[in-house]
Structure formats: C-alpha cells, structure tokens
Structure 1
Amino acid sequence: MELASAFISTEDYLTSEESSKGRHEYLGGQIFAMSGGSEEHNRIAGNIYASLLTYLRGSGCKTFIADMKVKIEIASNTADVFYYPDVMVTCDPQDTEKYYKTRPCLIVEVLSPSTETLDRREKRLNYQSLSSLQEYVLVSQEEMKVEIYRKNETGTWNLEILETDDILQLNSVDLTLAMAEIYEEVLPA
C-alpha cells in the first residue's frame, strides 16, 4: 500500500474512487493504493463468496466481493475509514448506500504477506468497532488455516483457530463450510 501525502475529504475520496482505475483504501484523510492479489488469494475469496452467494440467495442478505467498500466512523477521528474487504455480507435492509456498506454482519479477509499485519491489527480493531459485525474471518493462503473472531453475547471478541479437518461455522449467516470447500483448487486437502 502506498501513502498519499495530502489530506483528502471523504466526499473527494468517494468521488475519485468512482472513476479510478485502481482501488484505494481511505484512513482518516489519507489514501492508500491497494496491490493486486495472487491466484490463491483470488480463488479462496471466490470460493467463500460463491458459497455465501448461493446459500444466501433470496434471504435478504447481500454478499459482496472485493469491489464494495465498508465505511467505518471512528469516534476519535474527524474523518471516516473505508476498506475493501475480500468478502462481506450485510443483512440489514437499511444498509442501502450504492458504493459502500456500513452494517456488515460478516467480513472475510484472505491474508497476503503484504497486508497480513494490517488485517490482523488495524483492520481487525476498526472492523470490530462496527456494532453490526458478528464475525471477522482471516484466511491463510499459505496453509489450511482459518482464524475467526466472533462477538459473544457480552460484546467480547473470541478467537477460534481452524485447521485442515475442521469445519467453519459462520453463525452470522448460519452457514457451515468445510476447509476443503474454502481451499478448493488451491491447496490439497
């Protein structure tokens, strides 16, 4: 990710993203160019997206991949934050913005060497500030390993780590995925 030096308003950011050839994330007035992903990254995100899209069809929930932003309002900051999650689901009928969503219940990020630290720390903390978010899933592309942060009844986030023979239970959308489904055509089971 590359840092732009000048402050840009939320409105100017959103306008420029509509016509931009590349994608940029926005953090409190700063713009960061996003790099492209590997074949493994693309297939893993695609496998998860396809399973969610098919399962949630007709449910009122909407599934997005890669090009839909999530907006996060940071209370201690005067500017907003916009990220492009790899996969996102919103089931809130009031989440109607055309170019970004504000009320996702599920966010999935496929880890890349260049973004893993960002996904684990900054993005995780910012995503977890969304009151609607129930699950944040990190998926390795190097090995069959999934980390799921899940909010419990008291609002505390718990971490569960899954490996090769485990099953991913997405409580936010009531979907179960085998690791083999997530990693189909990526890693041998």
Structure 2
Amino acid sequence: MVANPQFSYMSPQEYLEWEKTQELRHEYIDGEVFAMTGGTKPHNRIAGNLFTKLDDFLAEKGCEVYISDVKVQVSESGPYHYPDVVVTCDQRDKESIDVVQYPCLIVEVLSPSTAAFDRGKKFTCYRQSSTLKEYVLIESDEIAVECFRRNEQGLWVLHTYSEEDNLDLESVGISIAVKKLYRQVRFDVEEKN
C-alpha cells in the first residue's frame, strides 16, 4: 500500500464518494487513503484457486464469496480494506453492491511488502467485526497457511497447515487440500523488472 499524498484527511463518506471515481483501488484507514499495489502471479493464482473452490461449494448455500475488488467495512467510520477473498453469509450484505459489512471469512494472500501489515494492524481491524469467524493468511512464496479461528470464548486460536494438510474452514463448512490452493503456482521463477 502507498499513502496518497493528495489528502491530509478524508471522512469515511468523502472516501466512499471519491473512490467511486478512481481507476485504482484504495484502502481507507483513520482518514488516510492508501493506493493498492499490484500483485504477483503466485498471489493471483492462490487467491483465484481458493475463490473457485469456495464459489463452487457455496453456490447453493446462501453465502457469497468475493475476490479482491469488494471492500470490507469494519465499522461505520471504517477502515475499509480490500481482502483477497471474503465470504459473507449474512442477508444484510445483499443490500450493498460494493461493500461487505458482515464477513464470516476473510483471506489475505501474503506478499513480502504487505505481510507485516496483514498480520498486524489489518488483523486488529478485522477482529472488530462481530461476524468474523476465521482469518486466513496464505503465503505466496512458500507453501504455508495460517488460520486464526475465533473460539466460543471469543479468543482467536491459530491453526497452521502445510503442504500435506487440508485447510478446514469451519466458518463455511469446507475442507480444502492445501496443495489445491497452490495449483499451478511456481516459486522458482525470478522476478523481472
């Protein structure tokens, strides 16, 4: 993410109106606007693989799954984030065309430039959502998955998954082989500038 130097402060409503007119996506945190950076092929492939599995599974279950272009609104005043994958099973979210307010599952595919933020401040923001049950972090430069799941006491418990495991997403009732998340992902390709 890159801060937008044009604005010193923007209200949530100003952000929502302004962002509708922008070609690029921007996240909103505490009055500041941040341009979203581009991803890599592994990042895109992993998010796409997960989206496909979830979309097929949830098609007849009353849940909706979105990939990267739909904002999650954590509270009335923001922040607004664009997760890589988000699932909502809440009927209230059917009333909006561009925002999910009641997610049950949020997934971020990590990149070296965003990993610390996704693990830290972004997760802190997402935890404010009373409907969120699972937060999944998927590495894009190695095979590794972390799922933070809210237990019955409201505590977030970490579950880790490796290449031979199945990722259990209790929030939506599906188990996905971790290998399938990384289908057609190549780690041995060098980045070219």
User: Once superposed, what is the RMSD of the aligned Cα atoms?
Assistant: 1.2
Q: Does 1:2 align with 2:2?
A: yes
Look up the match of 2:130. 131
Q: Is the 8 A contact 1:41 1:141 kept in 2?
A: yes
Task: From 63, 66, 88, give the equivalent of 1:64.
Answer: 66
Look up the match of 2:87. 89
Task: From 24, 27, 32, give the equivalent of 2:26.
Answer: 24
Q: Is the 8 A contact 1:90 1:103 kept in 2?
A: yes
Counterpart of 1:19 in 2: which secondary structure? Answer: coil
Q: Does 1:162 align with 2:161?
A: yes
Q: Is the 8 A contact 1:72 1:130 kept in 2?
A: yes
Shifted more, 9-18 versus 105-114: the winner is 9-18
**Where do 1:31-180 residues align within 5 Å?**
31-73=33-75, 79-95=77-93, 96-180=95-179
Q: Deviations over 1:17-50 (max 9, x none)?
A: 2121101000011000110000000000000000
How does the TM-score come out when normalised to structure 2? 0.92
Q: Is the 8 A contact 1:144 1:187 kept in 2?
A: no
Q: How many residues align?
A: 184
CA distance in 2, matches of 1:133, 1:100: 15
Report % sequence identity. Answer: 42
Q: Which amino acid aligns with 1:8?
A: M
Q: Which ranges in structure 1 are unaligned for 5 or more consecutive residues?
A: none
Query: Segments of 4+ in structure 1 off by > 6 A?
Result: none
CA distance in 2, matches of 1:2, 1:86: 17
How does the TM-score come out when normalised to structure 1? 0.94
Shifted more, 9-18 versus 165-174: the winner is 9-18
CA distance in 2, matches of 1:23, 1:172: 27
